[in-house]
Amino acid sequence: MKRITAILLLFIVIASCTKDNDDVINTELEGKWTLTNVSCFCGFGENPDFSTHKITFEGSTLNIENSGENQFLTNAAGSYTVDGNMITLKDGAQYTYVIKGDTLELTFVDNPQIADDEIFLQYIKN
């Protein structure tokens, strides 16, 4: 009887340790986001259309669509990590992020030794 109880307890422990969402880094980020605004030391001309840039967080992978004239995060597709409110992309670039409702704000963690490398990207969730 003790063996049956031990085997049953072992089965329950193993079943409770299954992977549910271990590949999901941050559920807040999950989904597709469309760029709505950019603030940087860049020139875009009048009425730029940022909506051709989209990012999708799927588990621990970032997918990027750049189909328009203005392209962002060009070498960052692939795996990413999150530590607190800091995202580190595949290319090593780091962004702090804030989510306010359906809006995602990414702020590049700039190198203080490089002038004018600041960039702020604002997305809306699709």
Residues spanned by the domain of 72: 21-125
CA 73 vs CA 17, 64, 108: distances in Å = 36, 7, 11
| pLDDT > 90: percent of the chain | 60
CA-wise closest residue to 83 among 100, 95, 73: 95
Q: CATH number of the domain at 31, please.
A: 2.40.128.50
In a domain, 88, yes or no: yes
Q: Note the pLDDT of residue 45.
A: 78
Q: Quote the tokens at residue 65.
A: 């669509």
Torsion angle of alpha carbons 43, 114, 51, 65, nearest 10°? 130
In a domain, 3, yes or no: no
Query: How many structural domains does the chain have?
Result: 1
In a domain, 8, yes or no: no
Rounded average pLDDT per 10-residue block, the chain, 126 residues: 64 54 67 96 85 96 93 94 95 95 94 79 96
In a domain, 89, yes or no: yes
